[in-house]
Chains A and B, each alone.
Chain A
Amino acid sequence: MIKYLLKKEFKQIIRNPFLPKMIFMFPLMVLLVFPWAASYEIKNLNLSVVDNDHSTYSRRLIQTVTSSQYFRLTDNSTSYSQALKSIESNKADIILEIPQNFEKSIINRESVKVMLSANSVNGMKGGIATTYLSMIVAEFNRTLVSELYPEAASNASSIIQIDTQFRFNKHLNYQVFMVPALMVMILTLLCGFLPAVSIVFEKELGTMEQINVSPVPKITFILAKLIPFWIIGFIVITIGFTVSWLDYGLIPVGHFYQIYTFAAIYILAISGMGIVISNYAQTLQQAMFIVFFFMMLFIMLSGLYTPVDSMPEWAKWIAAFNPLKYLMAVMRSIFLKGSNFSQLKSDLAILIGFAVFFNGFAILSYKKTN
């Protein structure tokens, strides 16, 4: 029986004027466009400088800052209030104000403060901008000290040399971070939305009645709805691998079969959730809203944009019930760090739990009677 039902489902998908195109175009579009747009890789921050000292050292500091790849001098102001205007008009993102007597203090070995004021309407961007600028100022400070007081440096009782290394993503490339996560997002959207839509659509058309009066068992019907999306999920993820290899030169460090295994379980879970929703929704509009609502929460609380570690405790609790969060972490771990099953076994167990729960729920909540 399931053979015929599957045949029907596949025909419905393939003959739909919209779906086959979607299944291919959506991952392509997302993976080609998103990594460029969804980026916090901050380069070319616009800098406004207020130099109250006009000395050799102040000019050298400005020179150091602008010669870094992060900052671009777009405004030279004579006063702080003038510089603030350039922030208001979005001409500058951050102000560097160098006080009077900057040079004098340095030569006299006194401490001196430079002011960094960042536009923090977008708190993340403001934070990154000030971190970068502080780093450059600290570096400048170190250069000056070793230059001005070589005797201090050599006689000093102690210098700790810090050697930094960024592992798994040497060039701090933001796309490397986003691409695996975006593949998870695409899977979620397609395999979560479409099963929900497909059942409610049958309800609206009235063909659901026909299924309900047929001898098809509940579990067969649900399986017939699930399996096509399972296969679609595999197609989508394969497209994802191809695009990330061709366009970004990214090849998973870990094993493909591990990614596929995790994906297979995850798709079951998320499609099951879609089916649960469709069992309760009466109209397409309703189904869409409920799915949209959950997807939105899932995506935002998944660590796609902001790390789960930075969330407050209560939000971490909510995130613990988010299947997306687990696959997101797993995907990044296998893809970028080459983690293996034994290191990710708790995630595996949790995802299996989700799959069992949602599909059990889907079968139980599907009622053939009205």
Chain B
Amino acid sequence: MIMKQLWSFIRKEFHHIFRDRTTVMILLLMPVIQIILFGFALSTEVKDTKVVVLANTNDNATRRIIDRIDASEYFDVSIMADNSDDIDAAFRDGKAKLAMVFEDHFAENLKHTGTAHVQLIADATDPNAATSFMFYASNIITGYQQEISQSGGGTIAPEVKMLYNPQMKSAFNFVPGVLGMIMILICAMMTSIAIVREKEMGTMEILLVSPMKPIYTILSKIAPYFVLSVINFVTIMLLSVFVLKVPIEGSFMSLFAVSLLYIFVALSLGLLISTITSSQLAAMMISGMGLMIPVMLLSGMIFPVENMPTFLRFISNFVPARWYIDAVKTIMIKGLSITAVWKDVGVLVLMGVVLVTISLKKFKVRLE
């Protein structure tokens, strides 16, 4: 009897959501587009950085250095400046990011006095990009110098190895991040809005006076979002393996188990928000500002948590996505077993239990 009742309620909720074509479309397409865009489009590699050159003496050495810079994949010599004002202008209208200034009589000085000066000026508005291309440019010039001078002496050459992600694809970082974000979006944000909507519309009263137990009302509310989350999890996994070529190094089952746990935590968060708010707008703002922003910022999805000040690191401990994303990275990308993420799992279980208890306690069965 109860099962039949519950079933019909769940069916009602499914109709609610799936008849809203736009929302369903967006919910199913959003992860696809996000994964593809973030996976392919976001990168910090230095590529074709525009260079402005100021060389008053057109000699052999300057030309060869300029050619080398231009030939490298990192740079693209685009402007030959006549004076330092040109450099300034090129920086200001964004036509160049790096300036190379050769001293007068560069080759002559190099030949006769043994030293010559070249100045590298970087547009450091983006500090990391500036550091990188400064490094590459210095390396190219040093390479040229070593070639023309047989100074003897060996060199210490660093041999670089990028662990787990040899091509430094941003996808490796974004797949776990998008997973963590989408689940919060669907489970917490959607669920809370759906429940509060019934409150706002007044239909919550009807549900509460029906012979259904409140717990079943809640269960039927969250069922469709649960299903949607699982569908999204599967899509994201398929995309990341087949399109982004981010392999699942660890066991798929443990990954799935951790994800189910996270969905549970996210759903209980949504439930909690719905019990403490009374308008859709408020529910939206709380889940938007209070959940989405911390997820994007403090979860390690984009910015490494370790570099943040202590205060923010402390707060990040309360962001469920942080633990989930860490667990996904460990299992999926580093390929370790589920025992390596016991701490993440423990924290998530604890969060889930606390959230469900509070929200069930606060769920009002009485009419006001």
Residue numbers in A under 8 Å from B300 (CB-CB)? 122
- Interface pair A121/B92, CB less than 8 Å apart: no
Stretch at the interface among B31-39, B345-353, B358-366: B31-39
Chain A 26-41 interface residues, beta-carbon cutoff 8 Å to B = 26, 30, 33-34, 36-41
Residue numbers in B under 8 Å from A130 (CB-CB)? 158, 160, 162
The answer for the CA separation of A204 and B280 in the assembled complex, in Å, is: 11
* Interface flag for A158 (CB, 8 Å): yes
Residue numbers in B under 8 Å from A36 (CB-CB)? 308-309, 312
Q: Mark A259-301, 1 if CB is under 8 A from B, else 0.
A: 0000000000000000000000111111011101100110011
* Interface flag for B139 (CB, 8 Å): yes
- Interface pair B163/A161, CB less than 8 Å apart: no
* Interface flag for A114 (CB, 8 Å): yes
Q: Mark B83-115, 1 if CB is under 8 A from A, else 0.
A: 000000101111001000000000000110011
- B352 CB, nearest partner CB in chain A, Å: 24
Q: Mark A98-128, 1 if CB is under 8 A from B, else 0.
A: 0000000110111111111111111111111
Q: Mark B15-52, 1 if CB is under 8 A from A, else 0.
A: 00000101100110010011001101111111111000
Total count of chain A residues near the partner, CB < 8 A: 120
The answer for the CA separation of A106 and B154 in the assembled complex, in Å, is: 6
- Interface pair B281/A105, CB less than 8 Å apart: no
* Interface flag for B120 (CB, 8 Å): yes
Chain B 162-176 interface residues, beta-carbon cutoff 8 Å to A = 162-170, 172-173
* Interface flag for A162 (CB, 8 Å): yes
Closest to B43 in A: A310
* Interface flag for B152 (CB, 8 Å): yes
- Interface pair A156/B307, CB less than 8 Å apart: no
The answer for the CA separation of A131 and B133 in the assembled complex, in Å, is: 10
- Interface pair A160/B285, CB less than 8 Å apart: no
- Interface pair A293/B30, CB less than 8 Å apart: yes
Closest to A26 in B: B289
Residue numbers in B under 8 Å from A87 (CB-CB)? 163
Closest to B95 in A: A343
The answer for the CA separation of A309 and B125 in the assembled complex, in Å, is: 14
Residue numbers in A under 8 Å from B128 (CB-CB)? 40-42, 124, 128, 174
Residue numbers in B under 8 Å from A118 (CB-CB)? 160-163
The answer for the CA separation of A202 and B278 in the assembled complex, in Å, is: 17
From known contacts A162-B138, A293-B26, A306-B170, infer whether A157 and B190 are also in contact, taking CB-CB under 8 Å.
no
- Interface pair A163/B155, CB less than 8 Å apart: no
* Interface flag for A170 (CB, 8 Å): yes
* Interface flag for B122 (CB, 8 Å): yes
The answer for the CA separation of A148 and B156 in the assembled complex, in Å, is: 14
- B173 CB, nearest partner CB in chain A, Å: 5
- A222 CB, nearest partner CB in chain B, Å: 21
From known contacts A88-B334, A158-B111, A158-B149, infer whether A112 and B134 are also in contact, taking CB-CB under 8 Å.
no
Residue numbers in B under 8 Å from A169 (CB-CB)? 124-125, 127, 130
Cross-interface CB contact of B152 among A113, A133, A135, A149, cutoff 8 Å: A149
Interface size class of B (residues with CB under 8 A): 35 or more
Residue numbers in B under 8 Å from A132 (CB-CB)? 131
Closest to B157 in A: A113
From known contacts A134-B158, A165-B119, A315-B37, infer whether A121 and B152 are also in contact, taking CB-CB under 8 Å.
no
Residue numbers in A under 8 Å from B166 (CB-CB)? 120
* Interface flag for A2 (CB, 8 Å): no
The answer for the CA separation of A116 and B158 in the assembled complex, in Å, is: 7
The answer for the CA separation of A59 and B68 in the assembled complex, in Å, is: 35
The answer for the CA separation of A14 and B115 in the assembled complex, in Å, is: 69
* Interface flag for A238 (CB, 8 Å): no
Residue numbers in B under 8 Å from A168 (CB-CB)? 91, 123-125
Residue numbers in A under 8 Å from B237 (CB-CB)? none
Closest to A115 in B: B159
- Interface pair B121/A165, CB less than 8 Å apart: yes
- B57 CB, nearest partner CB in chain A, Å: 15
Residue numbers in B under 8 Å from A177 (CB-CB)? 125-127
- Interface pair B122/A111, CB less than 8 Å apart: no
* Interface flag for A4 (CB, 8 Å): no
* Interface flag for B2 (CB, 8 Å): no
The answer for the CA separation of A159 and B208 in the assembled complex, in Å, is: 84
* Interface flag for A344 (CB, 8 Å): yes
Closest to A127 in B: B168
Cross-interface CB contact of A329 among B44, B94, B134, B193, cutoff 8 Å: B94
Q: A37-B298, A128-B132, A311-B41 are in contact. List 11 more A-B contacts (CB 8 A).
A: A42-B128, A121-B329, A125-B304, A148-B153, A157-B148, A161-B118, A164-B122, A168-B123, A168-B125, A282-B22, A289-B30
Which residues from chain B sit less than 8 Å from chain A, CB to CB?
A: 20, 22-23, 26-27, 30, 33-34, 37-38, 40-49, 89, 91-94, 97, 110-111, 114-132, 134-135, 138-139, 141-142, 144-145, 148-170, 172-173, 185, 190, 193-194, 197, 280-282, 284-285, 288-289, 293, 297-298, 300, 302-304, 306-309, 312, 329, 333-334, 336, 340
11 contacts between A and B (CB under 8 A): A39-B303, A88-B336, A89-B340, A111-B157, A120-B172, A157-B148, A157-B149, A306-B170, A315-B40, A333-B93, A338-B92
Which residues from chain A sit less than 8 Å from chain B, CB to CB?
A: 16, 18, 22, 26, 30, 33-34, 36-44, 46, 61, 84, 87-89, 93, 105-106, 108-128, 130-135, 137-138, 140-141, 144-145, 148-149, 152-154, 156-170, 172-174, 176-177, 197, 201, 204, 281-286, 288-290, 292-293, 296-297, 300-301, 305-307, 309-312, 315, 318, 329, 332-333, 336-340, 343-344
